[in-house]
Structure 1
Amino acid sequence: MSSQKVAVVTGASQGIGAALVTAYRKLGYAVVANSRTITPADDPLVLTVPGDVAEAGVGTRIVEAGLESFGRIDTVVNNAGVFVAKPFTEYTDADYDHVAGVNLRGFFDLTRRAIAAMVEQGGGHIVTITTTFADHAFSSVPSALASLTKGGLNSVTKSLATEYAARGIRVNAVAPGVIRTPMHPEETHEFLAALHPVGRLGEIDEVVDAVTYLETAAFVTGEILHVDGGQQAGH
């Protein structure tokens, strides 16, 4: 088996995902980068795999493309996610399918195949980007579908961490507050900043730093690391 470590990053074409690709390359990892419309990279150690993780089979295909190109999968960062804020009764069936597809099926399909590979190779690491809204909801930001899906991801992080700890696989999550990314229009920033006790939005590199900390933290598993300016502590 190759000694070149390999990380899979979903939602890799912009924002946190694109920054994670750069960060893992700096750590010396080859990267399997996925998003719906990702284009080929100049770097031979970045394999781009386009596809919508909400669709059955795409997560499996991403992992298998990485195994075929690089021979192993050491880390998966489940970064692809969608957030739709609406009053609960205004969510449509299409909203549910969209949010559950990306947030849950995407995680399930990809992580299931990756853990199977990690068991064979004797270890690995899963990190999932969730949201602090799953722990600390605000009446001013109705986010029931985020809580329903990302809350499940926080919970399964602990479940998988215990299930696979003896086989050398660590499973963690990073739960950000609101991060300054293309997802949030400029005119919403002042309102969103006020949700955090520290009074500002988070920055992409602060989430990336949390993921890279977890990457090297060999004694940390089952952790939901909040990068949220104190939001989950209270307001």
Structure 2
Amino acid sequence: MSKERKVAVITGASQGIGEALVKAYLNRNYCIVATSRSIKPSSDPDVLTIAGDIGNPETGQRVIAEALRQFGRVDTLVNNAGIFLAAPFTEYSPEQYVQVVSTNLNGFFYITQAAVAAMETQGSGHIVSITTTLVEHALSSVPSVLASLSKGGIAAATKSLAIEYARRGIRVNAVAPGVIRTPMHKPETHEFLGALHPVGRMGEIADIVNGVLYLEAAPFVTGEILHVDGGQSAGH
């Protein structure tokens, strides 16, 4: 495999936004390393799939090591894997707390650490993480402290990493979605969820993909939290 062809690593890649990102980067002639707990083996030589729990420190290290072994480089990491649990603060269980922190925070930290080490060696790279606009625009109708705690940490880390690595050729950005129409939202909830946005509708998976691709193609943009949220972060 030529080391000149760019490589994107995408977490949470088996469905929804992650699956769409795999297709989008393939269409831009990237080789792909796709990982999730339930991802199936790939018959496409340009797509390496790795099943594993992203919250496990070993998984992130293994994914980046396999990317380097198979394709020789890592140009982009999209931290898409995440869990969203909405509940009143006092009703979260210890098990839910551990689950969210493991997937959202551990799942960001370990694979990003391994990816940045690889990118430093080659002198270039791009990290994009999917957060949530609820970090900056909390809604009383959607109590979600665990999302804010974990994704808010990623948003802050995005800016910190962007500054730390700005002169080393590595850009770090994030996309902060509103509510996106995916299979996790039952059709009977769509009207309520759409009304949470000033534009009056839910977002589409393509909206998030386009946001990520914009950041991918914007070499002067780093430390940016790009809100793709139908106006939620601007107000109501």
Given the two structures, how large is their TM-score scaled by the length of structure 2? Answer: 0.98
**Aligned position for 2:109:** 108
Are 2:59 and 1:64 aligned?
no
**Aligned position for 2:165:** 164
Report the alpha carbon displacement of residue 220 of structure 1 after superposing the two structures with TM: 0.2
**Aligned position for 1:88:** 89
Mapped to 2, the partners of 1:125 and 1:99 lie a distance apart of: 25
Are 2:175 and 1:184 aligned?
no
Mapped to 2, the partners of 1:52 and 1:211 lie a distance apart of: 23
Tell me how large the CA RMSD over aligned residues is.
0.7
Report the alpha carbon displacement of residue 167 of structure 1 after superposing the two structures with TM: 0.3
Mapped to 2, the partners of 1:33 and 1:204 lie a distance apart of: 17
Are 2:35 and 1:30 aligned?
no
Listed as ranges, the gaps of 5+ residues in structure 2 are none
Report the alpha carbon displacement of residue 42 of structure 1 after superposing the two structures with TM: 2.1
Mapped to 2, the partners of 1:134 and 1:42 lie a distance apart of: 39
Mapped to 1, the partners of 2:44 and 2:214 lie a distance apart of: 24
1:118-197 matches, cutoff 5 A? 118-197=119-198
Mapped to 1, the partners of 2:71 and 2:168 lie a distance apart of: 22
Mapped to 1, the partners of 2:43 and 2:178 lie a distance apart of: 33
Mapped to 1, the partners of 2:111 and 2:232 lie a distance apart of: 30
**Aligned position for 1:39:** 40
Mapped to 2, the partners of 1:212 and 1:145 lie a distance apart of: 28
Matched length = 235
Question: Structure 2: which amino acid aligns with 1:73?
Answer: V
Mapped to 2, the partners of 1:59 and 1:201 lie a distance apart of: 32
Listed as ranges, the gaps of 5+ residues in structure 1 are none
Q: Secondary structure at the match of 1:57?
A: helix
Are 2:25 and 1:17 aligned?
no
Q: Deviations over 1:104-141 (max 9, x none)?
A: 00000000000000000001000000000111000110
Q: Deviations over 1:177-217 (max 9, x none)?
A: 00001121111111110000000000000100000110010
Mapped to 2, the partners of 1:56 and 1:8 lie a distance apart of: 16
Question: Structure 1: which amino acid aligns with 2:106?
Answer: R
Mapped to 1, the partners of 2:180 and 2:160 lie a distance apart of: 27
Report the alpha carbon displacement of residue 55 of structure 1 after superposing the two structures with TM: 1.6
Runs of 4+ in 1 over 3 A off after TM superposition: none
Q: Deviations over 1:46-92 (max 9, x none)?
A: 00000010122111111111111001000000000000000000001
Mapped to 1, the partners of 2:185 and 2:99 lie a distance apart of: 18
